[in-house]
Amino acid sequence: MNDLAASPSRFPLLPDREMTLGEILATGFRAFFGMLPKMLLGFLLIYGALNLIVALVPFEDLFPNMDPMRLAQLETKFAQTLDRFLGCVAVIAAVLASGHVLAGLPVSPRHAFRGAVSRWCPMILTGLLAGLVLIGLTLLLIVPGIIWGVYYAFLVPVVAFGLSGTEALAESKRLVKGNWWRTLGCILVIGLVGIALMLPGFLVDWIYTLFLSPSESWEPTLLDEIVEYLTSVYVDVAYLFVPVATAVFFLNRRSVVDGPRA
């Protein structure tokens, strides 16, 4: 595994016992806001570029006869796909940078982003492998898909810290096994907190669209696009709390399962 994750005892901000949900969230916030000041420029460059690509794609010209609602859905799906395949560099970098915070080390954006780029391909391939497994299980029966979806809850930090492929899937499952219901509850709450952090961006966009937008048709104005662009970047950066808090949960869980290692 990545050197940072080689030993649970190397993370002084994590206790050597199972953390409560409140402790996971509190430590997640400390790690998130601890790494954010030095990492923010990199995150803005990545998400700014991705959102700019979405804004520059002429969906209206490419699909002139498409219903406006369907066109908006197509643009949303394109943005989500772009985020999943390229935005994961920011996600991995956030996890690695939060690892530095938890280890009591200075955050190095250069180290974090270099590490993220080196783990990009394993993350994509492992994510696709997990997706195929979950799709196959869901097609057979819904419940197995849900069960194994929780087993793979730690996939992002596991891959970020050095494993990939079937080895990463097995490691995540090993750490969740025997703790499935608690893992489900913690992951759901972490997700809800992440949504709460993203909520200001959604609210600004919603209020602007309903009450402040000068546009009187489906055709967006330049101001509409600027507001959507800025709120989208904010939402993307705020979302990074979710993988950071999940990484805290993962590292603590691994410490509990494996015990301190030199």
What pLDDT score was predicted for residue 144?
85
CA distances from 189 to 17, 21, 84, 89, 138 (A): 20, 8, 22, 24, 23
- What stretches in the chain show pLDDT beneath 70? 1-10, 213-220, 260-262
For residue 8, the model assigns a pLDDT of 43
pLDDT digits (tens, 9 = 90+) for 117-160: 999 999 999 999 999 999 988 887 788 889 999 999 999 999 99
CB atoms under 10 Å from CB of 82, counted, come to 16
CA distance 60 to 160: 38
Rounded to whole angstroms, how far apart are CA atoms 5 and 160? 10
From the number of C-beta atoms within 10 Å of its C-beta (0-12, 13-18, 19+), residue 202 rates as middle
Q: Residue 261's pLDDT is what?
A: 54
In the prediction, which pLDDT does 9 show? Answer: 47
How deeply is 112 buried, as exposed, middle or buried, from its count of CB atoms within 10 A (0-12, 13-18, 19+)? buried
pTM of the model: 0.89
